[in-house]
Amino acid sequence: LLTHPHDGPAVELPAGLPAAGRVADGRVLTLLGGHRVRALAMDAPGTGYEVTAPGGERLLYLPPGGAPAGLPDTSGRDATAPYDLVAADVTGRPDAVARLRASGAIGASTDIVAVHLDHDVPPGAELDRRLAAAGARAVPD
């Protein structure tokens, strides 16, 4: 289990679960199933994660209000290959999506899922407009 509190102490877990760990920015943790998790430094509190599946599929997770501090590290992947899926604060940080797109980290086939949609996000048509502008979608939670 990984924990990535945006500030404050580590997350407390129920008894019986293994202890959660943290991955320092720039470091890679290989999970038992073969997935590799790289922690990414953010320009705001929190940690982003680049997850690479054993088959090479790649996911980028960005925390609420976060964007990569600089462009994503391309040392562990083909620099021309975009992520397969990006889960990001699309409405709070549209600039993060724009920077990733400009760098080639988001491509035409990247699935962009808006996360961290809370009560501050406008509902209905305005949300639909913002998501469409970013090429993103929301999923029910």
User: pLDDT per residue over 49-104, tens digit each?
Assistant: 999 999 999 999 999 999 999 765 555 555 568 999 999 999 999 999 999 999 99
Alpha-carbon distance of 35 to 29, in angstroms, equals: 8
Domain count, the chain: 1
| 130, part of any domain | yes
pLDDT of the residue at 30: 87
| 7, part of any domain | no
Supply the range of the domain harboring residue 104.
28-137
| 128, part of any domain | yes
| 4, part of any domain | no
| 91, part of any domain | yes
Alpha carbon distance, N-terminus to C-terminus of the chain: 21
| 12, part of any domain | no
| 65, part of any domain | yes
| 110, part of any domain | yes
